Amino acid sequence: MTDANQTPITNGPGAAAILAASAGCFALGVLALAGDASPPIAAMLKVWKPTGPLSGVTDVAILLWLVIWFALNRLWKQRTVNMATINLASVALFVVGILLTFPPFMDLLQGK
């Protein structure tokens, strides 16, 4: 039995959270690599001197995660999206983000 007044449940907000989290992981990896590879970028990312560029890397990655989450949530609030596509993209972004924070992989990309 279905209720005519019942609103359909959408998965957009959940998908937005999943994709934004993996995009934040990817941003962390890209920023970590950029901070390690480029002294000018490392200097720009140095928010708190004792931690070096890592402070800016995490600050910017968190900010990007929150902005992406907010934007996707607004876009997908009333939508049902293909979770298979979202999950595949999320896993790919997460894996690449983790690889980019792994020192031997970072050194390989930088030719060290």
How confident is the model over 9-34, as a mean pLDDT? 97
The ranges assigned to domains in the chain are 20-110
Rounded to an integer, what is the distance from CA 103 to the centroid of its chain? 19
Q: What is the pLDDT at residue 9?
A: 86
Helices 83-100, 103-110: axis angle to 10 degrees equals 80
Of 30, 42, 15, 41, the closest CA to residue 96 belongs to: 30
Reported confidence tier of residue 29, pLDDT bands at 50, 70, 90:
very high
Report pLDDT digits (tens) over 66-79.
999 999 999 999 99
